[in-house]
A and B are shown apart, each in its own frame.
Chain A
């Protein structure tokens, strides 16, 4: 679905954006009911059969759409999920940027609750159970089994199964935005509601069960007694009285529903009803929802943030925003005394001391006041999200918040501090996640710290971002108009970029390297050594090899533009081959491959280790031969420099031989003449 450029060329009408081969998105026909936050829904249809309708939800990079979860969502079989027919990248005509589109099959009715929160449902008790709660319970069960977190369960995102409202509900889109980022505060558990929208994390199925409970209240209630309250007021009331009491208020619900609501709206995730509990309730089992645990009250109050606190949870809330006061009450021992004497909690005091020791080990308590306040708040109320230097997030929400900061060009040193100070590790340790999840999370944070220790390209803060936020597309500044989330999309994006003719062969920057080292580690590992080299030629070789591996991996189409850009920078690489004839052959081979857009072919020719080894060996022999010839030449040069004496010795030897030969002949003839009686003189 990534061949947007080809589709652009097809000359589709101004209001129609092609998706794939046959689907057209009509940008003039909005479907507001299916919007998910800033991801807007549009009408779409099959070009071959215009009665075949779809809902296209368009997501920009900034909302961190869950492209990595599409396969998992596609695997969900329940008919009450909106059926995903496709997903991929399109070029959005309004801003000329690439967007990620989720294409759902149309057919769902209107939402159960309108945008203003007014329910327009007239189902009676059995219908509510059969058409709303039962399919929802089924979906929750399947999501739990397939480890999928929805993150967008809310009354406005639940639709009638058909226009006549006689079919089971359909649950709206979960993929177009980061989980929980578009949820209203009321749909979120206390910890996630306190966090920034993108710092809320992915959460667990317990969060979806909670959101289902809130949705049920919104759908079933006759009056909205919370309408006049702000999100903060609702949150404080939730903390003080519990979600169930806050939401139900004086509203009258059927007793059976109250039992379900009490179970699913429990504030303690561990005590909240599970999917199995909901199914047991549907099967008619009489269940006693766990009662809210009583909050332990201190004997005397402690003042922080201008409030007198008798409970550790509200104290923790104020501690987060008043680090100076936390330093003061820690230094004068007031907090320690309050925990020991007023709360009479030895375990809490031990935790308190451990935090004080940890902060002291870092240096001055004043210099580390933010860290102290953050850690102390977590100790006082472990369910709280992390609050450090005014920003609040859950341990699994750090990545998305980090991605937002990168997109907003914020100072990223904050995230380095968070990781170096092990802040999320402490939060995950105090949370109630399972041992496996805890180990996985800690491993991720440890990998981040390891990446931070390295200055190499593909490491550093950039790598931390992609390790922490798996659904972040590549946020390289070079790719700001593109949505790069994998090898195929990367190749197409770089191919488009290279068409401009302004690019050079070093296409991969630090962000891109970090992104690919997380998402295509196999390919990046084979190139990272060259990419980090100070030699430009090796960097070019690394770039070419990486794109070749991506092309091979994606079984992609020819990439003539990338190949052309690469070709322009390969002169230095040809010099790896010493034999000039071979170099010429290589150059010709690479040029031919480049013309075909065959990056893999180009790389294979240049990276042929056997040829390089053979060439080097032959070159060494040639060098030795040259030296031998040179020393012979120097000898001749030295001897021939004195032309008068050169060869004289040999000449005189030859003259002596000639003279002795003549002399012998004369002597012999004389003797013979004498013997034969001939008189010479």
Chain B
């Protein structure tokens, strides 16, 4: 048991601070590719800054999802990557693109659109789901009321008193009828 506990703690530590061997390998490959394809990687590094920011600053469950921003950010970068590749595909061409405010505003607007999609769609879907939950709760209450109506408060078991209370409200009327 103690051994197992130690092992789990170690794994957590590795996850929190250090990359795994596979991760390290990918990082090295990525850096090498970045160096090999320096113009494209420069363009993408600058173009994907909103995604990087989203990745770094989003708190789990809150803020926009990185993949949503990334999707739109990539869509914004694609025309310029094609432009780079169809041109000189050198570092200067890449610098020219990233220093062109019009191009960068297109890329960042696309990323902003990603933020917007995240905000709007999340809002619509969560509201819809919330309303659906509320409706289900009402349906459950109705079903339970029907059961109580058919079987009396005893059917509620431990919650009998809640339903008896509702019966009690009717009682004075019944007594009057008896009188």
A residues neighboring B (CB under 8 Å): 578-581, 619, 622-623, 625-627, 629-630, 632-633, 636-637, 639-640, 643, 645-652, 654-656, 658-660, 662-664, 666-667, 670-671, 674, 680-681
Contact = CB atoms under 8 A, between A and B. Distances in A.
Given A647-B128, A651-B121, 20 more contacts: A578-B151, A578-B155, A579-B150, A630-B156, A640-B134, A640-B137, A646-B129, A646-B130, A646-B133, A647-B129, A651-B124, A656-B65, A656-B71, A659-B68, A659-B71, A662-B75, A663-B72, A664-B71, A670-B75, A680-B79
Contacts of A578: 151-152, 154-155
Nearest to A654: B125
A458 B155 CA distance: 37
B72 A662 contact: yes
A240 B95 CA distance: 156
Contact of B155 (A619, A633, A652): A619
A627 B154 CA distance: 12
Interface in B28-84: 61, 64-65, 67-69, 71-72, 74-75, 78-80, 82-83
B120 to A, nearest CB: 8
Q: Which of B64, B78, B83, B159 has the most CB of A within 10 A?
A: B78
Nearest to B134: A640
Interface stretch (B9-17, B19-27, B140-148): B140-148
A681 B86 CA distance: 11
A640 B133 contact: yes
B53 to A, nearest CB: 16
B80 A681 contact: yes
Given A580-B151, A640-B133, A663-B74, A681 B124 contact: no
B135 to A, nearest CB: 10
Contacts of A625: 143, 147
Contacts of A637: 137
Nearest to A631: B140
Nearest to B82: A674
Q: What is the interface of chain B mostly: helix, strand, loop, or mixed?
A: helix
8 residue pairs, one from A and one from B, having the closest CB atoms = A651-B122, A647-B129, A647-B126, A651-B125, A655-B121, A663-B71, A663-B75, A659-B71
Contact of B127 (A579, A580, A647): A647
B151 A640 contact: no
A232 to B, nearest CB: 69
Contacts of B68: 652, 655-656, 658-660
B18 interface: no
B10 to A, nearest CB: 30
Nearest to B77: A667
Nearest to B129: A647
B165 to A, nearest CB: 16
B117 interface: yes
Given A636-B140, A671-B82, A655 B122 contact: yes
Contact of A622 (B110, B114, B147): B147
Contacts of A649: 61
B157 interface: yes
A671 B75 CA distance: 11
B72 A659 contact: yes
Contacts of B171: none
A633 B71 contact: no
12 contacts: A630-B159, A633-B144, A645-B61, A646-B129, A652-B68, A655-B68, A655-B125, A656-B71, A659-B118, A666-B75, A667-B75, A681-B103
Q: Which of A578, A581, A648 has the most CB of B within 10 A?
A: A648
Interface residues of B, number: 53
A647 B151 contact: no
A645 B137 CA distance: 18
Q: Which of A645, A659, A671, A680 has the most CB of B within 10 A?
A: A659
B7 interface: no
Contact of B83 (A629, A650, A654, A681): A681
A674 B81 CA distance: 11
A648 B151 CA distance: 39
B123 interface: yes
A650 B126 contact: yes
A158 to B, nearest CB: 67
A580 B152 CA distance: 7
Interface string B84-122: 001000000000000000010010001001100111111
B81 to A, nearest CB: 9
Contact of A580 (B72, B74, B150): B150
Contact of B121 (A619, A623, A658, A670): A658
Q: Which of B61, B71, B113, B152 has the most CB of A within 10 A?
A: B71
A643 B150 contact: no
A626 B127 contact: no
Contacts of A626: 144, 147, 155-157
Nearest to B122: A651
A648 B121 CA distance: 10
B133 A655 contact: no
A599 to B, nearest CB: 24
A273 to B, nearest CB: 75
Contacts of A633: 137, 140-141, 144
A325 to B, nearest CB: 71
B137 A636 contact: yes
Contact of B122 (A636, A639, A652, A663): A652
